[in-house]
A and B are shown apart, each in its own frame.
Chain A
Amino acid sequence: MGDFGGSSFGSSIGQHIGPLRRYAQALMRDRAAADDLVQDSLARALSRADRFESGTNLRAWLFTIMHNLHANQMRQRKARPETSLPESTVLPLTSPADQDDRIALRDMARALSVLPLEQRQVVLLVGLEGLPYQDVAAVLGIPIGTVMSRLSRGREALRRHLAGEAPRLRRAK
């Protein structure tokens, strides 16, 4: 058995809790469900600590575990399609922002929420988490070409969505 718990492996995992949780919330738009997913992922990661090869990318490994758990959940919920959630759950802003800025970010949240899940995953892993393309491919278990096409479709969908709403954003100061 390697080092567990409060020692190096646990500490290493701890450094990734923030990004994991951020991604889960961005992906799921429901804080409670996202937290459950992160907790389940961490528990699974710890229970499988001996399967992690040191020297490989721990962050990608953790995201992979979380992605697989999430995919299982999605399969189980297939009969119950995702519904749009209240705006409060997709706007995690806590610091006061400029009004125009808030509207722009809210529109981004909306645009993101209507993106198909598979595109949302790629856009978030690349754009929000800054994962290299090959890590995204590994996490999602898809070829890198599929990563690129989903990224492209996702970003274009966001752009069109945001461009369509742009005139409404312009406000006189």
Chain B
Amino acid sequence: MTDPGRSPISEAELHALVDGALPAGRRADVEAYLAVNPAAAARVAAWRAQNVALRRLFMAGESAGVDPAWRTDLQQLSARPRRIGGGRWRWLPGPRAAMAAGLLLLLAGGLLGPGGPDRETGGELAGFSQAAERAYLTAAVQEGEAAPSDWHPPDLSLLGWRLVARGQAPPGSQATARFDYADRDGRRLLLLVGPPKSDPRPSYAYLHDGNRVVFSWISDRLSYALVGELSRQEMMGLAERARAGLRAAGSAPPRLDGAPVIQSALDHRL
């Protein structure tokens, strides 16, 4: 059936045609072969249909990159309490915590809603980071518009940041105060504070999302989250300043057991 002088068409080449893996120079030969071999052409057509059916069956989009259809599923995955809540992924202090934090936040993907797995510290931080990132993406309260808060905002002016708004924490999160800062270049910084639901160990999580950085930590029996587009070094300086400068309204200065948490975040290359 094939022309003399041409090498015969192999089965592997038929598959390569279906999968787009055939060298360009061979394509015409294979197609010429199929034109005179209806049985082979039918098989190739069936294999192509299989690929299409498989992708539709499992809702595959582009093979590379994040398929948006997966976001909902990722939410389910991240919300599965078996591992995150009480299993092997228990929150660890130190560098492994940073790794686990990154993974957990990847899984959470900004999707963990209130009521997610937050009995353990990992869930606490993931939920709190997510609330902070969401708050950062929503409009800040207008400058000067005060909202009731249990907290006096920390003064970050020494680091070049001034308070531009203070407002209500995102509804549904356990945060109780939100402070918006800006620097001279117009960059924004958000600080979210609130009591953890449980009584977790001091720990931290550090997350990049493009240029945006979310640093959250638990210390002094408080959850903190800072969000902004800035360097890690800057973020750590601000974190230390924010922690030390935050004052509960009408109460004594906070305890100082948070410093080691931020220091350990600073010590480990993340």
Query: Which residues of A are interface residues toward B (Cβ below 8 A)?
Result: 1, 3-8, 10-11, 13-15, 17-19, 21-22, 25-26, 35-36, 38-39, 42-43, 46-47, 49, 59, 91-94, 104-105, 108-109, 112, 123-124, 126-133, 148, 151-152, 155-156, 158-159, 162-163
- List of B residues within 8 angstroms of A133 by Cβ: 16, 19, 21
Please tell me if the beta carbons of B54 and A26 are within 8 angstroms of each other in the complex.
yes
Instruction: Sort chain B's interface into a size bin.
Output: 35 or more
15 contacts across the A-B interface (CB closer than 8 A):
A5-B99, A5-B100, A5-B207, A6-B105, A14-B109, A21-B77, A26-B58, A39-B83, A46-B100, A94-B59, A123-B50, A126-B19, A127-B55, A128-B60, A130-B63
- List of B residues within 8 angstroms of A7 by Cβ: 102, 206, 208, 270
- List of A residues within 8 angstroms of B269 by Cβ: 1, 3-4
Tell whether B43 is near chain A: CB-to-CB under 8 Å: yes
State how many angstroms separate the Cβ of B33 from the closest Cβ of chain A.
16
Tell whether B190 is near chain A: CB-to-CB under 8 Å: no
Please tell me if the beta carbons of A6 and B206 are within 8 angstroms of each other in the complex.
yes
Closest chain A residue to B80, Cβ basis: A35
Closest chain A residue to B72, Cβ basis: A94
Q: For the complex of A and B, list the 5 residue pairs with the smallest distance between their C-beta atoms, beginning with the closest.
A: A5-B102, A6-B207, A18-B70, A10-B102, A6-B102
State how many angstroms separate the Cβ of A36 from the closest Cβ of chain B.
8
Closest chain B residue to A26, Cβ basis: B58
Please tell me if the beta carbons of B50 and A158 are within 8 angstroms of each other in the complex.
yes
Please tell me if the beta carbons of B66 and A14 are within 8 angstroms of each other in the complex.
yes
Known: A39-B77, A43-B103, A133-B21. A108 touches B15 (CB 8 A): no
Additional pairs, 14, CB under 8 Å, beyond known A36-B83, A163-B46: A6-B214, A10-B103, A10-B106, A14-B106, A15-B64, A15-B66, A17-B107, A22-B60, A39-B89, A43-B103, A46-B99, A112-B57, A158-B50, A162-B50
For chains A and B in complex, what number of residue pairs have CB atoms within 8 angstroms? 164
Main secondary structure of the interface of A (DSSP, over half): helix
Tell whether B56 is near chain A: CB-to-CB under 8 Å: yes
State how many angstroms separate the Cβ of A51 from the closest Cβ of chain B.
14
- List of A residues within 8 angstroms of B109 by Cβ: 14
State how many angstroms separate the Cβ of B121 from the closest Cβ of chain A.
15
State how many angstroms separate the Cβ of A43 from the closest Cβ of chain B.
7
Tell whether B205 is near chain A: CB-to-CB under 8 Å: yes
Main secondary structure of the interface of B (DSSP, over half): helix
Per-position binary interface string of chain B over residues 12-25, scored 1 when its CB falls under 8 Å from any chain A CB and 0 otherwise: 10011001010000
Per-position binary interface string of chain B over residues 29-58, scored 1 when its CB falls under 8 Å from any chain A CB and 0 otherwise: 000000000000001001100110111111
Closest chain A residue to B105, Cβ basis: A6
Tell whether B244 is near chain A: CB-to-CB under 8 Å: no
> Which of the listed residues A7, A8, A26, A49 has the most CB atoms from chain B within 10 Å of its own CB?
A7
Known: A14-B66, A17-B70, A42-B103. A25 touches B51 (CB 8 A): no
- List of A residues within 8 angstroms of B77 by Cβ: 17, 21, 35, 38-39
Please tell me if the beta carbons of B57 and A4 are within 8 angstroms of each other in the complex.
no
State how many angstroms separate the Cβ of B268 from the closest Cβ of chain A.
8
State how many angstroms separate the Cβ of B74 from the closest Cβ of chain A.
6
| CA gap between A94 and B71 in the complex, in Å | 14
> Which of the listed residues A49, A59, A93, A127 has the most CB atoms from chain B within 10 Å of its own CB?
A127
| CA gap between A132 and B16 in the complex, in Å | 10
Please tell me if the beta carbons of B208 and A6 are within 8 angstroms of each other in the complex.
yes
| CA gap between A22 and B65 in the complex, in Å | 13
Closest chain A residue to B47, Cβ basis: A155
Please tell me if the beta carbons of B63 and A129 are within 8 angstroms of each other in the complex.
yes
